[in-house]
Amino acid sequence: MGTKDTTKRLVSMLSELLLIMVCYFLCGVIRVFLPLGRAYAFRDTISYAYLAVLYAVVFVLIHYLLGGYDSLKFGSARKELLRIVLGELLGCLVMTSVIYIFRLEQFSRLLLVLFLLCSAAVLLAKRLVVSHFYMKYSQTKGHFNTILVGMGVATARLRQTLEEDPDGELCYCGYIAEAPFEGMDGYLGGLGLLEKRIEELDIKKIIALQQDISEETLRVMVAVGEKSAVEVLLVPSFGAYLSGQSRVKLVGGFRTLRLSLFDTSDILGVRVAVTDMEKTVALMESQLENWRGEYVCVANVHTTVTASEDKAYLKVQNGAVMVLPDGGPLSAYSRRHDFEEARRVTGPDLMLRLLEISPAKGYRHFFYGSTEETLERMKKRLAVDYPGLQVCGMISPPFRALTDEEDAAIVEKINEARPDFIWVGLGAPKQEIWMNQHQGRVAGLMIGVGAGFDYYAGNIKRAPMWMQRCSLEWLYRLMQDPKRLFMRYLYTNTKFIWNTLFRGK
pLDDT tens string 339-348 = 888 999 999 9
Q: Specify whether the CB–CB gap between 55 and 20 falls below 8 A.
A: yes
Find all residues with CB under 8 Å of 268, minimum gap 6, and list them: 304, 305, 307, 308, 496, 499, 500, 505
Pairing, β 254-259 against β 248-251: antiparallel
Alpha helices by DSSP H, listed for 229-346, are 277-287, 301-309, 311-318, 328-336
* More confident of the two residues 204 and 244: 204
> What H or E segment, with its residue span, contains residue 189?
none
pLDDT reported for residue 312: 94
Mean pLDDT of 309-326: 93
Beta bridge partners of 264: 273
CA distance 287 to 284: 5
CA distance 113 to 57: 18
Q: Which amino acid is at 63?
A: H
Q: Specify whether the CB–CB gap between 474 and 288 falls below 8 A.
A: no
Q: Specify whether the CB–CB gap between 172 and 144 falls below 8 A.
A: no
Residue 84: phi, psi to the nearest 5?
-65, -45
DSSP code, position 187? B
Q: Specify whether the CB–CB gap between 270 and 318 falls below 8 A.
A: yes
Mean pLDDT of 150-154: 87
CA distance 473 to 394: 28
Annotate 362-390 with b (16+ C-beta within 10 A) or e (fewer). ebbbbbbbbeeebbebbeeebeeebeeeb
Contacts of the segment 185-193: beta carbons below 8 A, 24+ positions apart: 186/159, 188/147, 191/149, 191/217, 191/220
Strand order in the sheet with 144-149: 170-176, 144-149, 205-209, 231-235, 254-259, 248-251
CA distance 296 to 347: 10
pLDDT reported for residue 255: 67
Mean pLDDT of 326-351: 88
Q: Which of 94, 95, 93, 81 is nearest to 123 (CA)?
A: 81
**Per-residue pLDDT tens digits for 212-235:** 898 888 888 888 887 777 888 888
**Per-residue pLDDT tens digits for 250-283:** 565 566 766 677 888 999 999 999 999 999 999 8
Is the previous residue joined to 387 through a cis bond, with omega within 30 degrees of 0?
A: no
Q: Which of 450, 493, 448, 502 is nearest to 472 (CA)?
A: 493
**Per-residue pLDDT tens digits for 165-216:** 645 567 888 999 999 988 788 899 999 999 889 988 888 889 998 888 988 8
Q: Specify whether the CB–CB gap between 451 and 485 falls below 8 A.
A: no
CA distance 158 to 212: 12
Percent of the chain with pLDDT over 90: 38
Tell me: pLDDT of 392 over 60.
yes
Find all residues with CB under 8 Å of 184, minimum gap 6, and list them: 151, 155, 156, 159, 175
pLDDT reported for residue 303: 93
